[in-house]
Amino acid sequence: MNIFDISSCSDYLFLILASTPDSRWRCSRKVSTVLCVHPYLCQPTNCSEHGECVNGRCQCEKGWQGAACDTLVCQPPACGPHGFCTASGCICDAGWRGTNCSEACLPGFYGDGCTKTCSCFNNGSCDPVNGRCVCPPGFHGDTCERACPLGFFGASCAQECRCDDLCPCDPQTGSCNTTLPVDTNYTLHRAGHCLAKQMLTSWRKEEESHREQPHLTERSWLIITLVLLLVSLIISCHQVCRRSVTSRFPERQDYSYVPLQDINGAPSCAVETGKGSLGVEDSDSQEEIWSPSHSERS
């Protein structure tokens, strides 16, 4: 029996036919042969990378179908307008859920697969797609954490109150007949006190600005006052001195009258007049006005 080399056959079946003498054959001989038989191949051989080739046929993975495993089982419009098909089924857009993406997220959830939780206060709701808070009337802020400022109300606090005397209104309805919370009243009290103090300070500054400003400083006025007092004192002293001199020499206020005889040491002579009164000689011959110049000449 002859045996051939079959190492080159990777997938094979071999058949050995061994012949023995047989009277039916004219020429009996020994025959030996090998047949290589390959399995059936798939098209494509890798089954589009979504299956396995078995006996020439593709066995597809889950979610794929077709002879070549190149077609998804999920086909539009199976996922509707809010999703798209994949091998594992429908993948929903943010804000949607369900096997065919036809259900919106439950309140308080948002995002892909509705797995994220909203963080809105004061009964605010969030957008199911991006989680942005939608505030109820009377509140505002990224998470609806702030009430409307005084004087405004409504959605996003966009409307202005229309109450008499500019009084605040209900932040939700805009009603002027409202009772404000205790903390709001306390805030109003502090704000009113602050505004009143600021207004009073402003009025005082405005009044001072309108007053006439003196041309001289306070120090200059003080110096002038002291000088005037000193001048007045000097004048008063001078007047007192003059009055003293006048009282001593009532006949001569600006000079001294002394007879010449008294200056020379001679006794004065009295002349009897016809009327029996004392007299003196002619003043031009016997009297002189004494002065320092006359004293020096004598």
Residues 100 and 144 in one domain: no
Q: What is the CATH number of the domain that holds 95?
A: 2.170.300.10
The single-letter code of the amino acid at 165 is D
Residues 144 and 110 in one domain: no
3-state secondary structure (DSSP) of residue 278: strand
* Least confident piece of the model among 96-110, 164-178, 204-218, 249-263: 249-263
Give the residue numbers spanning the domain of 173: 135-181
Q: How many domains does the chain have?
A: 2
Residue at 175 is within a domain: yes
Instruction: Count other Cβ atoms within 10 Å, centred on residue 171.
Output: 24
Residue at 99 is within a domain: yes
Q: Are 117 and 108 in contact (CB under 8 A)?
A: yes
Residue at 101 is within a domain: yes
User: Across residues 2-29, what is the average pLDDT?
Assistant: 50
Please say which residue of 181, 198, 217 terminates a domain. 181
Does pLDDT of 98 surpass 90? yes
Residues 117-131: pLDDT tens digits? 999 999 999 999 999
* Cα 153 to the center of its chain, rounded Å: 23
Please say which residue of 181, 206, 239 terminates a domain. 181
Residue 188: φ, ψ to 5°: -65, -40
d(Cα 93, Cα 187) in Å, to the nearest integer?
46
Q: Are 55 and 47 in contact (CB under 8 A)?
A: no
pLDDT for position 64: 95
pLDDT for position 222: 86
Residues 124 and 90 in one domain: yes
Residue with tokens 């050995």: 16
- Contacts with 61 (C-beta within 8 Å, 6 or more apart), sequence order: 50, 51, 69, 87
User: Across residues 255-271, what is the average pLDDT?
Assistant: 52
pLDDT band at 269 (very low <50, low <70, confident <90, very high): very low
User: Across residues 217-239, what is the average pLDDT?
Assistant: 86
Residue at 222 is within a domain: no
Residue at 245 is within a domain: no
Please say which residue of 163, 181, 199 terminates a domain. 181
pLDDT for position 193: 82
Cis peptide leading into residue 171 (ω within 30°): no
Residues 139 and 95 in one domain: no
Average pLDDT of the chain, as a whole number: 77
pLDDT for position 297: 44
pLDDT band at 293 (very low <50, low <70, confident <90, very high): very low
d(Cα 113, Cα 129) in Å, to the nearest integer?
10
Dihedral (CA of 205, 208, 214, 219) sign: negative
Q: Return the half-sphere exposure (C-beta side, CA atoms, 13 A cut-off) of residue 164.
A: 1
Residues 22-70: pLDDT tens digits? 566 555 555 555 555 667 789 899 999 999 999 889 999 999 999 999 9
Burial 137-152 (b: 16+ CB within 10 A, else e): bbbbbebbeebbebeb
Q: Are 153 and 180 in contact (CB under 8 A)?
A: no
Of the candidates 89, 93, 43, the one whose C-alpha atom is nearest the C-alpha of residue 64 is 89
Does pLDDT of 15 surpass 50? no
Q: Are 90 and 78 in contact (CB under 8 A)?
A: yes
Residue at 291 is within a domain: no
Residues 155 and 121 in one domain: no
pLDDT for position 26: 59
